[in-house]
């Protein structure tokens, strides 16, 4: 397996934990490596991840080698299976995004309004999935369906799952989601001016734009 991919997971895992984007032994990362997926193992804090102690699974979720993978491995492989254009997935329990996932009065098709240009560029569309218990593979079909239309998901009463072309891009998008979730709470109850559909459309890749 790629040494560079292993080192990237170790570096990003430590950074995510150091900056408080997850806590305790929560959160997990994945990187596509050829026909396999490198994953953080179960029961290990992201602060303690080591490049030579990662799990390797197939795209169908079969454990190939290394320590037992995170119980949420299915989230990562489900996204990577349906998005061959993306190669990395980050899942955290970051405070503000997780808080949004607990609200009763948000639109599951747009749980966080597009308040900033960088949210439009890095996150774009966000979908919130129904509640599934952590580690419940029954969520697989819901993840696959949503991932076909967006790379950013919010798990109800849980936290965000964000994919990117590489690990750094996925983390950039996750951080922007978390920052905008914070803005959402700061401005809650106040009149805001989210980006318009036309403004968001300008950020979309040409293949994602609807015909004019």
Please identify every residue annotated as catalytic. Answer: 72, 118
Mean pLDDT (10-residue bins), the chain, 212 residues: 92 97 96 96 97 96 96 96 97 98 96 96 96 94 96 98 97 98 96 94 59 36
What strands lie across the sheet with 152-155, from one edge to the other? 63-65, 55-58, 36-39, 28-33, 88-91, 159-164, 152-155, 126-129
N residues, the chain: 212
The whole-angstrom separation of Cα 95 and Cα 99 is 6
Q: pTM surpassing 0.95? A: no
Question: What one-character DSSP code corresponds to residue 93?
Answer: -
48 touches 68 (CB < 8 A): no
* Cα–Cα distances in angstroms (integers) from residue 203 to residues 29, 166, 196, 197, in the given order: 26, 19, 11, 10
Q: At what angle do helices 3-18 and 167-186 cross, to 10 degrees?
A: 20
Helix, coil or strand: residue 31? strand
pLDDT of residue 208: 46
Structural domain contains residue 143: yes
The whole-angstrom separation of Cα 154 and Cα 132 is 12
Structural domain contains residue 28: yes
- The domain that contains 113 carries what CATH number? 3.40.225.10
Structural domain contains residue 210: no
Structural domain contains residue 209: no
pLDDT of residue 185: 97
Structural domain contains residue 195: yes
Q: At what angle do helices 140-147 and 73-82 cross, to 10 degrees?
A: 40
Domain count, the chain: 1
Residues ≥6 apart with Cβ < 8 Å to 45: 17, 24, 25
Structural domain contains residue 212: no
């Amino acid at each position: 397996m790629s040494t560079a991919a292993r080192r990237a997971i170790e570096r990003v895992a430590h950074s995510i934990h150091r900056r408080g984007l997850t806590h305790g032994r929560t959160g997990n990362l994945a990187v596509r490596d050829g026909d396999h997926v490198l994953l953080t193992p179960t029961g290990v804090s992201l602060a303690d991840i080591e490049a030579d102690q990662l799990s390797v699974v197939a795209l169908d979720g079969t454990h190939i080698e290394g320590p037992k993978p995170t119980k949420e491995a299915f989230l990562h492989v489900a996204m990577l299976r349906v998005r061959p254009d993306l190669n990395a997935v980050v899942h955290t329990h970051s405070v503000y995004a997780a808080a949004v996932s607990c609200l009763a009065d948000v639109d599951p098709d747009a749980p966080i309004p597009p308040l900033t240009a960088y949210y439009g560029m890095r996150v774009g569309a966000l979908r919130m999935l129904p509640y599934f218990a952590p580690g419940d593979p029954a969520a697989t079909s819901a993840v696959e369906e949503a991932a076909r239309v967006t790379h950013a998901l919010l798990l109800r009463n849980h936290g965000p799952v964000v994919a990117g072309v590489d690990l750094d891009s996925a983390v950039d998008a996750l951080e922007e989601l978390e920052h905008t979730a914070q803005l959402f709470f700061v401005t809650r109850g106040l009149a805001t001016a989210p980006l318009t559909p036309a403004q968001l459309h300008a950020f979309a890749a040409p293949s994602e734009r609807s015909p004019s």
